[in-house]
Structure 1
Amino acid sequence: MQFKDQLNNIITLTKTPQRIVSLVPSQTELLVDLGLRDKLVGITKFCVHPSKLRKEIKVVGGTKTLHFDKVQQVSPDLIICNKEENTREMVMELQKIAPVWVSDIYTIEESLQMIESIGAICDVKEKASEIIETIQFEKQDFLKFINHKPSQKVAYVIWKKPLMVAGKTTFINTLLNLNKFENVCEENTRYPEIDISKLKNVDQVLLSTEPFPFKQKDAQRLSNEIGKPVKIVDGEFFSWYGSRLGKAFQYFKTLHK
């Protein structure tokens, strides 16, 4: 069986995967929601959903700091990666161990393609279709909700020192646009460093809970400094592109109330 990943690489499998290593937290959650929990044999330390998963399945490292010997030990027949989360060098080394399928996601449409592809590879097409239908329904419902809401200029902050934001060539930016949040960061860099003075030109600042775990005290301090509203937002709903999207749109509604 041959399958194409989102970088247009062809992977060849002799059977439906029975031992899967997932190196992307959002895709790990997706695999569980697809009913493939018992097929997972390796995950990263950042695969926090479901909450007990790291106690049940071997942790083989982080998304960019992997222990290849631990991956080898679990004898995978499929490894699932992502272009942004995992490095090219990592993928090349993993290909010596097992077939590697790589996602590349900037839009919701690409997220749905990823879900459909993994459903086909792992022979759970029906469950994948259910997840896709839920996401599509929730998205359309949200678009009706947001239609008459005013646009706001925002900066989406992901790191504290240095101050870093999500740029326009990111999946985060796609979801900001859906929320009618106009991203003031125009740099081509995906996650550029910016000067705090730029935050004074927004309607509000969104502080993400990941990768830096911003707290309410950070929001209050920054708001006092720039004289603008600052809101803590759940970073998983803005950056996880798997089955969590099915819950994201209900969360987004709460940001506009």
Structure 2
Amino acid sequence: MERVVSLVPSLTEAVAATAPGLLVGVTDWCSHPAGLAATRIGGTKNPDTAAVLALRPDLVLANEEENRAPDLAVLHEAGIEVLVTGIRTLDQAFAELHRVLVTGCGLARPRWLDEAEAAWAALPPPSREPRRAIVPIWRRPWMVLGRDTFAGDLLARLGIRNVYADHADRYPRIPLDELNAAGAELVVLPDEPYRFTAADGPEAFPGLPAALVDGRYLTWYGPSLAAAPAALRAALR
């Protein structure tokens, strides 16, 4: 592959860390690495498909959750190869990163991917019973992690049991009074997609310890996975 467009910030970072010269187009939300020299083609949910086509990519990288099927269909119909990833667990993330970089982009497997796998494999088992937590990802309305999510799988490996892990929805809307009555021991507040901060989020859960975590370590699948175990463990303490 010589020309790649990425519609997924995590995959943009993964390709940039391996062969940055391949990227000719990325989304407005692709913030890592900083200063990336590639054409911006809109958001993950509203890419400018005409701009993507104008870049004449050999491959477009997408994700079943982050990108919309109608946009990908436009690219398919124009004869563009689109590699759609599905990532709901850490193991899937590692497998899909290998597929994107090695199979899709034709690159040698990068060292950082091996280092990330080793970092998670070396993670010691939790030293106590899992802590019950709620994990908001938005407010107004309040939304939390539900079933079958990548972030939920990472937290489970770190000794955190998502109270809503068995909910029928992956990102359910739960009223605040119900969240506070859910029997959680901890509230985990990432800084994306909603930017929770010490002054915006913890006050909604009086008496409940709050862990502010870097959303890139919790929700991105790429080079950040190598540092994520240590960073998340520190934040969850």
1:58 shift after superposition: 0.7
- How high is the sequence identity, in percent, across the aligned residues? 29
1:133 is paired with a residue of what secondary structure? helix
Q: After alignment, is 207-216 or 114-123 more displaced?
A: 114-123
- After superposition, where does 1:199-214 map in structure 2 within 5 Å? 199-200=179-180, 201-214=183-196
Q: Of the candidates 140, 160, 163, which is equivalent to residue 184 of structure 1?
A: 163
Q: After alignment, is 72-81 or 228-237 more displaced?
A: 228-237
Is residue 11 of structure 2 the alignment partner of residue 27 of structure 1?
yes
CA distance, structure 1, for counterparts of residue 198 and residue 223 of structure 2 = 27
- After superposition, where does 1:64-143 map in structure 2 within 5 Å? 64-97=45-78, 98-118=80-100, 119-127=102-110, 130-142=111-123
Q: Do the aligned partners of 1:222 and 1:230 also contact (CA within 8 Å) in 2?
A: no
Is residue 148 of structure 2 the alignment partner of residue 169 of structure 1?
yes
Amino acid at match of 1:167: G
CA distance, structure 1, for counterparts of residue 126 and residue 158 of structure 2 = 9
CA distance, structure 1, for counterparts of residue 8 and residue 86 of structure 2 = 12
2:189 is paired with a residue of what secondary structure? strand
CA distance, structure 2, for counterparts of residue 105 and residue 45 of structure 1 = 21
Q: Which residue of 2 aligns with 1:196?
A: 176
Q: Which residue of 1 aligns with 2:203?
A: 221
Query: Which structure has more helix as a fraction of its residues?
Result: 1
Amino acid at match of 2:24: V
CA shift digits 1:192-225 (9 cap, x unpaired): 100212333210111110011111111342233x
1:236 is paired with a residue of what secondary structure? helix
Q: Do the aligned partners of 1:44 and 1:60 also contact (CA within 8 Å) in 2?
A: yes
2:114 is paired with a residue of what secondary structure? helix
Q: Do the aligned partners of 1:106 and 1:169 also contact (CA within 8 Å) in 2?
A: yes
CA distance, structure 2, for counterparts of residue 126 and residue 192 of structure 1 = 37
Q: Of the candidates 186, 208, 224, which is equivalent to residue 244 of structure 1?
A: 224
1:244 is paired with a residue of what secondary structure? helix
Q: Which residue of 2 aligns with 1:14?
A: none
Amino acid at match of 1:159: W
CA distance, structure 2, for counterparts of residue 253 and residue 214 of structure 1 = 18
1:84 shift after superposition: 0.3
- Shift of the 62–239 alpha-carbon distance from structure 1 to 2, 3 Å rule, reads same
Is residue 24 of structure 2 the alignment partner of residue 41 of structure 1?
yes
Amino acid at match of 1:121: G
1:38 shift after superposition: 0.9
1:147 is paired with a residue of what secondary structure? coil
Is residue 213 of structure 2 the alignment partner of residue 233 of structure 1?
yes
1:113 shift after superposition: 1.1
Q: Do the aligned partners of 2:213 and 2:232 also contact (CA within 8 Å) in 1?
A: no
CA distance, structure 1, for counterparts of residue 176 and residue 201 of structure 2 = 13
CA shift digits 1:130-176 (9 cap, x unpaired): 2332122101222x1x4314420001110011000011211111111
Q: Which residue of 1 aligns with 2:43?
A: 62
After superposition, the CA RMSD in angstroms is 1.5
Q: Do the aligned partners of 1:42 and 1:58 also contact (CA within 8 Å) in 2?
A: yes
Is residue 130 of structure 2 the alignment partner of residue 151 of structure 1?
yes
